[in-house]
Amino acid sequence: MNEETFKVRAYGFGELAQLYFPTLSKKSASWQLTLWIKKNEVLNEILLKSGRTKKQRLLSPAQVLIIVEKLGMP
């Protein structure tokens, strides 16, 4: 996916995860994105400060932007 086709908007966590890992199932992609977030302490801390919780299924546009800024475009 490139910058022209990716839009910052609210995404389901699994939906965004599958953009990063298109060959994985939604569950596996979500698990992998969760690992990436946990391993990136700065990203994890910023997301927690933005109000993100472990059980949160819908990411706000601001949270999506934070992830994209730290991990790059999906």
Mean pLDDT by 10 residues, the chain (74 residues): 81 97 97 97 96 93 97 94
Whether this prediction's pTM lies above 0.95 is answered by no
What angle do the packed helices 41-49 and 26-39 form, to 10 degrees?
100
Is residue 66 a part of any domain in this protein?
yes
pLDDT score of 1 = 62
Single-letter residue type at 40: N
The total number of structural domains in the chain stands at: 1
Is residue 2 a part of any domain in this protein?
no
Which residue blocks in the chain are alpha helix, DSSP H? 13-20, 26-39, 41-49, 61-71
As a whole number of Å, the CA-based R_g of the chain is 11
Is residue 4 a part of any domain in this protein?
no
pLDDT score of 2 = 56
Range of the domain at 54: 11-71
Is residue 3 a part of any domain in this protein?
no
